[in-house]
């Protein structure tokens, strides 16, 4: 954990009707000083969309050789590697070589489109790679609190996140 990291506690009640997955997850997350609340919440969204009892947050932004989230098999093999933002080709190649499945979630519209146009032809060769853009309807960062209790409903590939008085809808656009 980075010095000066801000600690957040999150309780997620996930109801994923698309995958028939229903569970409660409790986390303690450290927000790196260079990380925004939006990026912290995008990490939670990535977890919600792929929720599993074996999906774990890693050291993330402070670690070059780990994704933001991953799921490992009992033998230590990486089953799922999740990165946020716009990683470079070298990182993507490494991730695809080490993991059964790789998902990149992008969330900043202007820079995501520019990155995608530049990388699209290069990324076609990675068969285990999925690139997804998150369309966010609402102010996701306003849900970030030091102690969060969030209801996460997924139906027809649409995620609705609800706290006491606010809700945000997230839709995935699958680019690859």
Which pLDDT tens digit goes with each residue over 69-122? 999 999 989 999 999 999 999 999 999 999 999 999 999 888 999 999 999 999
pLDDT tens, 3-33? 688 899 999 999 999 999 999 999 999 888 8
- In the structure, what pLDDT confidence band is assigned to residue 61 with cuts at 50, 70 and 90? low
Query: Where in 32-73 does DSSP place strands (E)?
Result: 55-57, 69-72
Asked whether residue 84 is assigned to any structural domain, the reply reads: yes
Asked whether residue 79 is assigned to any structural domain, the reply reads: yes
pTM above 0.75, yes or no: yes
List the domain range (segments joined by +) for residue 142. Answer: 6-174
Token pair recorded at residue 25: 């997850």
Asked whether residue 55 is assigned to any structural domain, the reply reads: yes
Asked if 95 and 67 touch (Cβ cutoff 8 Å), the reply is: yes
Asked whether residue 40 is assigned to any structural domain, the reply reads: yes
Asked if 27 and 166 touch (Cβ cutoff 8 Å), the reply is: no
pLDDT at 62: 53
* CATH code of residue 64: 3.10.640.10
Q: Distance between CA atoms of 91 and 97, rounded to whole angstroms?
A: 10
What average pLDDT does the segment 25-49 reach? 92
What is the dihedral sign for C-alpha 112, 40, 62, 26? negative
pLDDT at 60: 61
Give me the residues paired with residue 78 across strands. 72, 99
Q: Distance between CA atoms of 132 and 125, rounded to whole angstroms?
A: 16
What's the mean pLDDT when you consider all of the chain?
A: 92
- In the structure, what pLDDT confidence band is assigned to residue 63 with cuts at 50, 70 and 90? low
Asked if 138 and 168 touch (Cβ cutoff 8 Å), the reply is: yes
pLDDT at 17: 96
How many domains, the chain? 1
Asked whether residue 1 is assigned to any structural domain, the reply reads: no
pLDDT at 3: 64
Asked whether residue 89 is assigned to any structural domain, the reply reads: yes
């Amino acid at each position: 954990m980075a010095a000066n990291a801000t600690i957040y506690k999150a309780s997620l009640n996930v109801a994923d009707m698309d995958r028939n997955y229903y569970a409660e997850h409790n986390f303690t997350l450290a927000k790196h000083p260079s990380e925004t609340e939006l990026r912290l919440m995008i990490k939670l969204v990535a977890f919600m969309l792929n929720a599993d009892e074996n999906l774990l947050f890693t050291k993330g932004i402070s670690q070059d050789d780990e994704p933001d989230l991953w799921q490992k098999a009992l033998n230590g093999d990486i089953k799922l590697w999740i990165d946020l933002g716009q990683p470079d080709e070298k990182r993507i190649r490494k991730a695809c070589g080490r993991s059964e499945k790789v998902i990149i979630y992008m969330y900043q519209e202007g820079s995501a489109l520019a990155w995608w146009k530049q990388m699209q032809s290069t990324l076609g060769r990675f068969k285990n790679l999925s690139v997804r853009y998150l369309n966010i309807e609402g102010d996701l960062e306003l849900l970030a609190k030091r102690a969060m209790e969030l209801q996460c409903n997924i139906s027809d590939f649409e995620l609705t996140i609800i706290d006491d008085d606010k809700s945000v809808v997230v839709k995935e656009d699958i680019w690859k």
